[in-house]
Every structure is written in structure tokens, then in C-alpha cells.
Amino acid sequence: MSVSIYIPTPYRRHTNGVSRVEVEAGTVRQVLDRLVAQHPALAQQVFDDKGEVLQYLGIFVNDEEVHSLGGLDIELKPGDELALIPAIAGGSEDIQFTEEQIIRYSRHIILKEVGGEGQKKLLKSKVLIIGAGGLGCPAAVYLAAAGVGTIGIVDFDRVDLSNLQRQILHGMSDIGRPKAVSAKESIAEINPDVNVVLHETALSRENALDIIKDYDVVVNGCDNFPTRYLVSDACVLSGKPLVDGSILRFEGQATVFMPGKGCYRCLFPAPPPPGTVPSCSEAGVLGVLPGIVGCIQANEAIKVILGVGETLSGRLLFFDALNMEFRKLKLRRDPNCPACGDNPAITELIDYHGFCGVPNQAHVS
């Protein structure tokens, strides 16, 4: 007699994603034995080491708990349906590492500051990267390798030969293709655990809050002032941590803005007049520099997710690649800041191109 078993979401990794399994059986106990025979990885989710059904696993026959019906040896009828319902706390499903994941993340798991719990936090975390360019590429590579479970990428640009000097997610065969698509393919090759979500659009006052709301941390790899102020204001309004980075020629900057602890406007209340600060395409950038700054951003994002160490919150890291100097400058939240101050004037996103006095054309270096 064929019996159908409902497999809850936390266990589907052991059934190749299948939510219903059919077995031939006459009693509940036979159903469970046949189920684990078909899917041996389920055995430790169902039975303890004495072969008894786990205390924290509920077994239901046609929506009735099996013990209320007489136990595991009751006779089943054709058409009966079983469901395995594990106890869960707080609505968040526990991640069970696969053997491959234990090997993949072993160097993290043995660190006491990360451990199995930290690795699970990374796997559950969602990081949004603004731009798959010079900063976004190295940040994405290390966040993906670290097992950040969801990486969102905002980019509408296409790969150009001049990008390959530093944008390490892209290769020769990607020239002319969308950067977001190229980034997704490269990440899949590094770590198939990562779900890459593409936002192939320019971040704007119309879409920024909607895109950012689904993420835990934002990593900013943009190269223009309107987007920099837009991302900062959007993170303040959404209460999201922002890991900021910027580069030009041989100089890099990085910092972390935690909610309530200051923002980009506290540091730079107004952008420089248009034309006074050149872009990387005008002034150049040493290719390895965004690699270093982007890796620092990945490092800070991981610390924010894990809640370990001291992040760059309240400090601006200033890096001179030519003289090999790192400086850390203190940052303070400005109580008069129009975005994150005590009486903020900015309560919704504004016209950032107008604010910065530049035409509306955003590109990521």
C-alpha cells in the first residue's frame, strides 16, 4: 500500500528538495523505516542512536498526532498521509551542515569567533552589494567564499576591457555582457551555497528602499557622489548597517555606519562641487587598490553579521597604497545631521543628482 509522507522544509536538503515522498508500507513504523532506507541522510533527523523516534519530532497521520491514534504500530489505510513536523524555535529553521559544507567551511568552523553557529549566521545572512565593479568584485568573491547565503548585486553596466585591470569577477569572455550576470556566474563557480539576487537597474530614489529592505547589510561599491548620498540616506531610513568604501588613484577609504551611529552626511555634509574631484576613469586607479579596500569591506560585513571584533564603526580607515600607510580617523555622529541627527530634515529620499549638481548618469568603476 502506497503512503505519502510530507517532508518539512528543514529536511528537504536530505530528499533532494522533494516535499512529498511515497513509500510502500502498512504501519507508521514501516513508513519511517522505508523513508530512511530511501533517503539515508534523513535517519539522524528521525531516529536517535537507539533507533527510537526523536522526542522533538512530531509524526502526524492525517493531521492527528500518531500517539493519540495508538502509536507507531497502527495499521494505515490506503490514502493515509503522514507528516514529519520537527520542533522549531522562534520560527527560524536550524541549518544542518552537509558533509561538503563541513569541509568547505572547516577553517571557519574551527575559529572560536566563528564556529558552527557563526557559519550558520553567515549562511542565513543577506548582503547587498552596490556595483559589481572594482570594490564590489573582491567584496563579492570573499563574501561568497565565506558562505554568505544571499548576495544581492545592483549593477546595470556591461563589462568593458578597461574593467579587467581590477574587476576580478569578470573575464575576457564576459566583455560586452552584463556585469551582474557575469558576477552571478563567477560566484556560482566559487560557492553553490550562495543565492545571488540580481538587481539590473540603476539604484534610484524610487527603488532604493524597496531593494535594500530585504538585506541585513549593505556594501557600497559605487563610484559617484549621488549614489553615495542615496545609499547612505536609504540605509539611515531603513536602519541598515552600511559598509562604505571608496577609491581614487592610490588612496582608499573605508568605514562602517551602524544604525544610530552616524552616516555619510555626518562625515561629509555636502559633496564637492561638480568637476573638482575626478573619477577613476579621469584620474586612474591602481588596480590592486580596490582589491584591498573591497576585501576590507568584506571583512567588516562579516564582522557585522557575526557580531565579533571591533568594526570600523566610528572610524574612517584611510589607506595610502603608494606609501603603504593606514590611518584611522575618529568619526562622530552629528546631532545636527539632516539624515541621522536628532531632528532629521531628510525623512524620504531626495533628488541626489540635483543635490550633487551632476547630470543623471551613474557608472561603477
Kindly write out the interface string for residues 257-296 of this chain, putting x where it contacts Zn ion by CB under 5 A and - elsewhere.
Answer: ------x-xx------------------------------
In residues, how long is the chain? Answer: 365
Buried b (16+ CB within 10 A) or exposed e, 82-101: bbbebeeeeeeeebebeeeb
Number of residues that bind Zn ion (CB under 5 A): 6
Name the residue number minimizing CB distance to Zn ion.
337
Q: For the CB of residue 341, give the shortest distance to Zn ion in the complex, in Å.
A: 6
CB nearer Zn ion, residue 59 or residue 331: 331
Q: Which stretch binds Zn ion (CB under 5 A): 88-96, 129-137, 311-319, 337-345?
A: 337-345
Please report, as residue ranges, which positions from 203 to 222 form the binding site for Zn ion (by CB under 5 A). none
| Phi and psi torsions of 153, nearest 5° | -130, 125
CB nearer Zn ion, residue 169 or residue 236: 236
User: Cell for 206?
Assistant: 524610487
Q: For the CB of residue 201, give the shortest distance to Zn ion in the complex, in Å.
A: 26
CB nearer Zn ion, residue 166 or residue 265: 265
User: Cell for 171?
Assistant: 573575464
Q: For the CB of residue 262, give the shortest distance to Zn ion in the complex, in Å.
A: 5
Q: For the CB of residue 245, give the shortest distance to Zn ion in the complex, in Å.
A: 18
CB nearer Zn ion, residue 180 or residue 263: 263
Helix, strand, or coil (residue 75):
strand
Q: Distances in Å between the alpha carbon of 330 and those of 83, 95, 101, 256, 270?
A: 57, 39, 39, 12, 19
Q: Which stretch binds Zn ion (CB under 5 A): 7-15, 18-26, 137-145, 332-340?
A: 332-340
Return the beta strands (E) in 301-349 as ranges: 315-320, 325-330
Q: Which stretch binds Zn ion (CB under 5 A): 81-89, 163-171, 300-308, 338-346?
A: 338-346
CB nearer Zn ion, residue 45 or residue 220: 220
Q: Which stretch binds Zn ion (CB under 5 A): 43-51, 144-152, 186-194, 256-264?
A: 256-264
CB 19 within 8 A of CB 6: yes
CB nearer Zn ion, residue 208 or residue 266: 266
Q: For the CB of residue 265, give the shortest distance to Zn ion in the complex, in Å.
A: 4
Would strands 242-248 and 217-220 be described as parallel, antiparallel, or unpaired? parallel
Please report, as residue ranges, which positions from 47 to 86 form the binding site for Zn ion (by CB under 5 A). none
CB nearer Zn ion, residue 237 or residue 337: 337
If we measure between CA atoms, which residue out of 294, 238, 233, 295 comes closest to residue 269?
A: 233
Q: For the CB of residue 353, give the shortest distance to Zn ion in the complex, in Å.
A: 20
Residues 6+ apart with CB under 8 A from 252: 245, 246, 289, 290, 292, 293, 296, 317, 318, 319, 321
| Long-range contacts formed by 66-69: CB under 8 A, 24+ apart | 66/28
CB 227 within 8 A of CB 365: no
Q: What is the DSSP string of 97-115?
A: PPHHHHHHTHHHHTSTTTH
Among 187, 219, 340, 346, binds Zn ion (CB under 5 A): 340
Q: Is 256 in the site for Zn ion (CB under 5 A)?
A: no
CB nearer Zn ion, residue 71 or residue 260: 260
List the beta bridge partners of residue 254. Answer: 245, 317
Q: Which stretch binds Zn ion (CB under 5 A): 53-61, 145-153, 321-329, 336-344?
A: 336-344
User: Cell for 89?
Assistant: 524555535
CB nearer Zn ion, residue 93 or residue 334: 334
CB nearer Zn ion, residue 269 or residue 273: 269
Residues that bind Zn ion (CB under 5 A): 263, 265-266, 337, 339-340
